[in-house]
Amino acid sequence: MTKKDFYSKAEFFTPDEIFDIQKQRFINILNIIKNTKFSNFYQQKILQHNQNKLTLDNVIAKFNNCNDKADFYNLFNQLIPFTTKQDLRENYPDKLCCFDKKNYVRLHCSSGTTGNPTAIFYTKADLDKWADLMARSLFVAGVRPDDVFQNMSGYGLFTGGLGIHQGAEKLGCLTIPAGAGNSKRQIKLLQDFGVTVIHILPSYALHIAEIISEYKKHQFSNLRIAIVGAEPYSEESRQRIQNALGVKVFNNFGLSEMNGPGVGIECQQQNGIHIWEDSFIAEIINPQTCEILPNGEIGELVLTTLTREGMPILRYRTRDLTKILGNDCPCGRNHLRIDRILGRSDDMFIVRGVNIFPMQIENILMNFQQISNNYVIMLQTNPQSNLDDLHIKVEIKNEFFSEDIRQLQNLQKAIESALHDEILVRPIIELVQHNSLPKSDGKVKRVIDLRQK
Ligand code: DLL
């Protein structure tokens, strides 16, 4: 790739340039926090964290005087407290807003299922920067202004709708706000408008992939890129989507608390997600001890907004588990790469004393060519033994749903033992007919916990 092939010069900043801009932007954020009359959340939190020994002016001066990268991050770790989802819930709806209400032009909410959601407010400048980051992300995945872009994600409070949309428009694509669901209509739009790029959630992509593979391939010959994110998916699932749709799939990461999508994306190398470090500081911590982990160790991703003026969030504990892969990449960008998200710390469940992530199960299931793209994991208490059972229903492709019971039993056993080798618990596998499990066009719920508490 030539160095001229970029959307923003920031993509090719050197590590030193990235550090300089992080420092400058972080101090800027601290000044917003210090000067605001509308939120005392971080003013108090930072003072409490350093036991009132330093004023915010002292904290800012310390960062200002720090010119060494390692010292800066040490200081950051020492002086800046973590923010949790609980903090955001307790301060719902707007206690982190640093400006008067009239300065905000949009809000979104995160996809929480219980209690208060978290609401994020954006000023006009915040929206412009977010659109720019999203446009940059799409460009890095290979999207260009002459592409026709179909956004198959739900619009509304979820940031996957408008967040992606504004990026595609900013880049100059003809952007179709298709929204989620209604597969027949999606396919008609794909065909009628010669769509070249789609944005889609992985669970829905796997579903659409099955429908599309029933059509003749040439009808979608224009389609070349799928931007896929918002929920975890395995490398095997990526391969399935790529093969079925004849596209290259790019893993796209973000969360409402950090604007939404546009926090990072894979480049042409498809070797991990580049986090846009000129706009976010990324760290990986041990979720139990909160210690910073070295590159390569799996832990919880912690992110800080560096450019959002209206509602900065510092050291947000995302609960997403991943590892840092490094900050060099054959594409020439130095923004650090993280591994695909393995799952959320709150997705993990324990069966018979073993910690299991849904993604470990998906990794194994998707290796069986007989299994179609849908499955559900059920946790139940066995009434006889009173122990937890791991019950997995998997859809079988029509061509393998044989009437020969022995064939099905062999397949069932093979899946059971492959899973047992991986997760050390023997699951109960139930093979079900294709299209018999519930489908979702939003974020899918793969685990249903029916255990007696
Ligand atoms: O899901 C933002 C988004 C929209 C990202 C569209 C990408 C595409 P939330 O609803 O706040 O925001 O959910 C954020 O989704 O903490 C992760 O657990 C998960 N997530 C997002 N992207 C990925 C990804 C949007 N590429 C939460 N891989 C995050 C795995 C992802 N999980």
Q: Which residue has the tokens 């659109």?
A: 131
228 lines ligand 1 (CB under 6 A): no
Rounded mean pLDDT of 401-425?
A: 93
**Could you tell me the distance, in angstroms and rounded to a whole number, from the CA of residue 110 to the centre of ligand 1?**
10
Q: Which atom of ligand 1 is nearest to the CA of 341?
A: 30
* 98-102, 212-216, 431-435: segment of lowest average pLDDT: 212-216
Rounded mean pLDDT of 361-370?
A: 96
Q: Whose CA is nearest to atom 12 of ligand 1?
A: 255
Q: Whose CA is nearest to atom 27 of ligand 1?
A: 255
**Could you tell me the distance, in angstroms and rounded to a whole number, from the CA of residue 78 to the centre of ligand 1?**
28
Residue 2 pLDDT > 60: no
pLDDT given for residue 3 in this prediction: 46
**Could you tell me the distance, in angstroms and rounded to a whole number, from the CA of residue 343 to the centre of ligand 1?**
11
User: What distance in Å separates the CA atoms of residue 430 and residue 416, rounded to the nearest whole number?
Assistant: 10
Per-residue pLDDT reduced to its tens digit, 100-154? 999 999 999 986 656 778 999 999 999 999 999 999 999 999 999 999 999 999 9
Per-residue pLDDT reduced to its tens digit, 170-198? 999 999 999 999 999 999 999 999 999 99
Give Cα separations from 313 to 95, 112, 319, 384, 440 (angstroms). Answer: 12, 18, 15, 49, 31
User: What distance in Å separates the CA atoms of residue 256 and residue 126, rounded to the nearest whole number?
Assistant: 13
User: What distance in Å separates the CA atoms of residue 440 and residue 50, rounded to the nearest whole number?
Assistant: 46
231 lines ligand 1 (CB under 6 A): yes
Nearest residue to 305 via CA among 11, 33, 75: 33
341 lines ligand 1 (CB under 6 A): yes
The two three-digit tokens of residue 63, written as one number:
């960062």
pLDDT given for residue 452 in this prediction: 78
User: What distance in Å separates the CA atoms of residue 143 and residue 177, rounded to the nearest whole number?
Assistant: 17
Q: Which residue has the tokens 């070349």?
A: 224
Nearest residue to 228 via CA among 164, 135, 304, 316: 164
Residues 6+ apart with CB under 8 A from 381: 387, 388, 389, 450, 451, 452
347 lines ligand 1 (CB under 6 A): no
**If residue 430 lies in a helix (H) or strand (E), which one and from where to where?**
strand 428-433
154 lines ligand 1 (CB under 6 A): no
Rounded mean pLDDT of 200-213?
A: 90
Per-residue pLDDT reduced to its tens digit, 29-67? 999 999 999 999 999 999 999 998 999 999 999 999 999
**Could you tell me the distance, in angstroms and rounded to a whole number, from the CA of residue 430 to the centre of ligand 1?**
30
User: What distance in Å separates the CA atoms of residue 235 and residue 68, rounded to the nearest whole number?
Assistant: 38
pLDDT given for residue 211 in this prediction: 85
**Radius of gyration, alpha carbons of the chain:** 23
Asked if residue 245 lies in contact with residue 237, where contact means CB atoms within 8 angstroms, the answer is no
**Higher pLDDT, residue 211 or 134:** 134
User: What distance in Å separates the CA atoms of residue 404 and residue 409, rounded to the nearest whole number?
Assistant: 9
Q: What is the 3 state secondary structure string of 348-394?
A: CEEECCEEECHHHHHHHHCCCCCEEEEEEEEEEECCCCCCEEEEEEE
> Which stretches of 232-370 are assigned E, i.e. beta strand?
248-255, 260-266, 273-275, 280-285, 299-305, 316-322, 324-326, 337-338, 343-344, 349-351, 354-356
Pocket test for ligand 1, best of 162, 320, 446 (most atoms within 8 A of CB): 320
**Could you tell me the distance, in angstroms and rounded to a whole number, from the CA of residue 405 to the centre of ligand 1?**
41
Residue 30, SS3 per DSSP = helix
Residue 420, SS3 per DSSP = helix
Nearest residue to 387 via CA among 414, 354, 417, 409: 354
Q: What single-letter amino acid sits at 402?
A: S
pLDDT given for residue 216 in this prediction: 58
Residue 380 pLDDT > 80: yes
Pocket test for ligand 1, best of 113, 199, 253, 303 (most atoms within 8 A of CB): 253
User: Percentage of residues in the chain with pLDDT exceeding 70?
Assistant: 96
Pocket test for ligand 1, best of 89, 151, 227, 341 (most atoms within 8 A of CB): 341
Residue 404 pLDDT > 80: yes
User: What distance in Å separates the CA atoms of residue 302 and residue 82, rounded to the nearest whole number?
Assistant: 8
Residues 6+ apart with CB under 8 A from 314: 29, 42, 80, 81, 83, 304, 305
DSSP 216: -
Residues 6+ apart with CB under 8 A from 94: 101, 119, 121
312 lines ligand 1 (CB under 6 A): no
Average pLDDT, the chain: 95
Would you call the peptide bond into 177 cis, given omega within 30 degrees of 0 as the criterion? Answer: no
DSSP 59: H
pTM for the full predicted model: 0.95
Per-residue pLDDT reduced to its tens digit, 218-272? 567 899 999 999 999 999 999 999 999 999 999 999 999 999 999 999 999 999 9
Q: Which atom of ligand 1 is nearest to the CA of 320?
A: 18
186 lines ligand 1 (CB under 6 A): no
The two three-digit tokens of residue 441, written as one number:
């066009």
Rounded mean pLDDT of 349-372?
A: 95
Q: Which residue has the tokens 């030193």?
A: 16
CA 63 to chain centre: 30
Pocket test for ligand 1, best of 137, 138, 231 (most atoms within 8 A of CB): 231
Q: Which atom of ligand 1 is nearest to the CA of 340?
A: 28
Asked if residue 360 lies in contact with residue 233, where contact means CB atoms within 8 angstroms, the answer is no
Q: Whose CA is nearest to atom 14 of ligand 1?
A: 255
